[in-house]
Structure 1
Amino acid sequence: MESKISIITNIETNYKSFTKTEKIIADYVTKNFNEVYSMTLNALATDCQVGEATIMRFIKKLGFANLAEFKISVANYMMEEEKKSYSEHPFVNFQQDINELTLETLKINPIELIEKAVDYIENAEHVVFMGNGTSGYVVEVISYIFNRAGLINECITDVHFGEIRSSMLGKNDVMIAVSYSGDNIDITSAAKRARENGCKVVSMTTYKTTTLPQVADIALYSSPESMEHRRFGAGMRGIMTQEFLAELLYITYRERHKDEVFANQQKTAIATAKHHEYIKGED
Structure 2
Amino acid sequence: MNNQNAIEAIQAVYDDLYGQEKKVADYVIAHGTEAAKMTVTELAEASAVSEATVMRLSKKAGFKGFYHLKLALAQQASVPKITPSETKIDPKNMSAAVSTLLAAKAADLQAVSSSLDDGQVETALARIKQAATLYIFAAGNTNNLAAYAAYLFNQLGVKTVNAPLPEMQVNLAYQMTVNDACLLISQSGSTTLTTDIAQVAHDYQVPSIAITLEDKSPLTQLVDTVLLSPQSQQVTLQIAGATQLTEMAVVDLLIMLLAADESGQYANNGVTQENRLAKYKY
Normalising by the residue count of structure 2, what TM-score does the alignment of the two structures yield? 0.64
Superposed CA offset, 1:111-155 (max 9, x none)? 111011110011111111111212212111111111111212112
Equivalent in the alignment of 2:236: 230
CA contact (8 A) 2:132 2:159 kept: no
Closer, same or farther in 2 for the Cα pair 1:262/1:171, shift >3 Å? closer
Equivalent in the alignment of 1:159: 166
Equivalent in the alignment of 1:133: 140
Secondary structure of 2:277 counterpart? helix
CA contact (8 A) 2:131 2:181 kept: yes
Secondary structure of 1:175 counterpart? strand
Tell me how far apart the structure 2 counterparts of residues 104 and 23 of structure 1 sit (CA, whole Å): 30
User: Residue 100 of structure 1: CA displacement?
Assistant: 0.5
Q: How many pairs are equivalent?
A: 206
Superposed CA offset, 1:38-68 (max 9, x none)? xxxxxxxxxxxxxxxxxxx99xxxxxxxxxx
Letter of the aligned partner of 1:107 in structure 2?
S
Equivalent residues in 2 for 1:81-230, closer than 5 Å = 89-224=96-231, 226-227=233-234, 230=236
CA contact (8 A) 1:207 1:224 kept: no
Q: What stretches of structure 1 of length at least 5 have no aligned partner?
A: 1-16, 28-56, 59-85, 278-283
Kindly report the root-mean-square deviation, in angstroms, between the aligned alpha carbons of the 2 structures: 3.2
Secondary structure of 2:147 counterpart? helix
Task: Find the partner of 1:253 among 252, 258, 271.
Answer: 258
Equivalent in the alignment of 2:64: none
Closer, same or farther in 2 for the Cα pair 1:20/1:267, shift >3 Å? same
Tell me how far apart the structure 1 counterparts of residues 184 and 32 of structure 2 sit (CA, whole Å): 32
Secondary structure of 1:187 counterpart? helix
User: Residue 172 of structure 1: CA displacement?
Assistant: 0.9
CA contact (8 A) 2:115 2:230 kept: yes
- Percent of aligned pairs with the same residue? 14
User: Residue 230 of structure 1: CA displacement?
Assistant: 3.1
CA contact (8 A) 1:205 1:221 kept: yes
CA contact (8 A) 1:130 1:187 kept: yes
Structure with the higher helix share, 1 or 2: 1
Letter of the aligned partner of 1:141 in structure 2?
Y
CA contact (8 A) 1:146 1:153 kept: yes
Equivalent in the alignment of 1:242: 247
Letter of the aligned partner of 1:204 in structure 2?
I
Letter of the aligned partner of 1:208 in structure 2?
D
User: Residue 208 of structure 1: CA displacement?
Assistant: 1.7
Tell me how far apart the structure 2 counterparts of residues 196 and 258 of structure 1 sit (CA, whole Å): 33
Equivalent in the alignment of 1:63: none
CA contact (8 A) 2:116 2:227 kept: yes
CA contact (8 A) 1:108 1:221 kept: yes
Secondary structure of 2:183 counterpart? strand
Q: What stretches of structure 2 of length at least 5 have no aligned partner?
A: 1-23, 35-44, 47-88
Tell me how far apart the structure 2 counterparts of residues 150 and 134 of structure 1 sit (CA, whole Å): 26
User: Residue 276 of structure 1: CA displacement?
Assistant: 4.4
Secondary structure of 2:260 counterpart? helix
Superposed CA offset, 1:76-134 (max 9, x none)? xxxxxxxxxx9962211111111101111111111111011110011111111111212
Closer, same or farther in 2 for the Cα pair 1:21/1:236, shift >3 Å? closer
